[in-house]
């Protein structure tokens, strides 16, 4: 497949469940986005003593810097390579933002989980949203760095290769899949999987298989961490019997058919 990613990188995505894209968008764009985010944070940007909570959750943003960060020719080419040409929808907003601050207080949202793709009986209850083996509704998970993130700055923990384990867990449940909470309850022990920290410069994006297990962690640094985790929405559906299946589908096929 021609494009930005070579065959080895495509294979890495299939086997590891993610790939890191450096310089996915300019650092200047990230700074503009962070300036907007600070307007909605109930702390004084220049007074760390006011940063009294370990995490502040912000929603979806559609201002120009956010849209520019996930809509460019480079990313579109990679989306086509990973999710399949035309099998995804451009992002019209970016979020959610769990902005993490240095704190001795433990955050309540650090459990291992997989992001859900479609609503359950109550669409307003995110913990009841569902994930199925074909990743209905979700083509990719994106971890978008809007600030420089070191190992001390609460980088997201990615469980390398866990997407295949998750696919096998989901397979018996068919189209209905499991709820966010039900699946999270089955992910307590991933000790056999290597932990990869989503670090990098502002403008870095980790493109992850939608079944990848990941988790937040405490912030031991000195500056807030700005990262968004939006989905790349799926336009069509995955066909595991398609010989020309996308790398997202190939990873699921390997997990449940081989």
Whether residue 142 lies inside any domain: the answer is: yes
| pLDDT one-digit tens code per residue, 38-97 | 999 999 999 999 999 999 999 999 999 999 999 999 999 999 999 999 899 999 999 999
Please check whether residue 192 lies inside any domain of the structure.
yes
CATH of the domain at 88: 2.60.120.620
Confidence of residue 9 (pLDDT cuts 50, 70, 90): very high
Phi, psi (deg, nearest 5) at residue 30: -60, -40
Report the alpha-carbon distance of residue 156 to residue 154 in Å, rounded. Answer: 6
CA–CA separation, 97 and 59 (whole Å): 6
What is the number of domains present in the chain? 1
Q: What mean pLDDT comes out for the span 134-154?
A: 97
How high does pLDDT run on average in the chain?
A: 95
- Region 146-158: mean pLDDT is 97
2 domain-assigned? no
Q: How far is CA 69 from CA 23, 40, 205, 215, 221, in A?
A: 10, 19, 10, 23, 25
Q: What is the pLDDT of residue 243?
A: 59
Least confidently predicted of 2-6, 131-135, 184-188: 2-6
Whether 243 maps to a domain, the answer reads: yes
Residue 1: inside a domain, yes or no?
A: no
Please state the pTM of the whole predicted model. 0.96
The verdict on residue 72 lying in a domain is yes
> pLDDT (tens digit, 9 = 90+) per residue, 24-41?
999 999 999 999 999 999
**Helix pair angle (73-83, 7-16), 10° resolution:** 60
Which residue range is the domain that position 76 belongs to?
7-257
């Amino acid at each position: 497949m021609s494009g930005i990613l070579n065959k080895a990188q495509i294979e890495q995505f299939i086997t590891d469940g993610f790939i890191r894209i450096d310089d996915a968008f300019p650092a200047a764009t990230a700074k503009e986005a962070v300036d907007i985010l600070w307007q909605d944070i109930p702390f004084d940007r220049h007074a760390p003593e006011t940063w009294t909570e370990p995490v502040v959750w912000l929603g979806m943003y559609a201002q120009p810097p956010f849209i520019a960060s996930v809509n460019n020719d480079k990313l579109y080419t990679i989306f086509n390579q990973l999710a399949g040409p035309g099998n995804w929808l451009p992002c019209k907003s970016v979020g959610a933002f769990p902005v993490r601050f240095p704190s001795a207080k433990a955050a309540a949202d650090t459990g291992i989980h997989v992001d859900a793709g479609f609503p359950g009986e109550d669409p307003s209850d995110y913990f009841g949203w569902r994930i199925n083996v074909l990743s209905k509704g979700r083509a990719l998970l994106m971890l978008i760095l809007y600030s420089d993130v070191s190992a001390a700055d609460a980088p997201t923990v990615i469980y390398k290769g866990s997407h295949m384990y998750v696919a096998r867990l989901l397979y018996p449940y068919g189209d209905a899949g499991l709820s966010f909470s039900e699946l999270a309850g089955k992910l307590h022990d991933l000790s056999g999987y290597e932990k990869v920290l989503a670090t990098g410069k502002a403008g870095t994006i980790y493109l992850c298989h939608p079944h990848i297990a990941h988790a937040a962690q405490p912030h031991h640094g000195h500056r807030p961490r700005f990262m968004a985790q939006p989905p790349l929405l799926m336009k069509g559906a995955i066909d595991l019997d398609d010989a020309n299946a996308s790398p997202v589908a190939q990873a699921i096929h390997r997990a449940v058919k081989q």
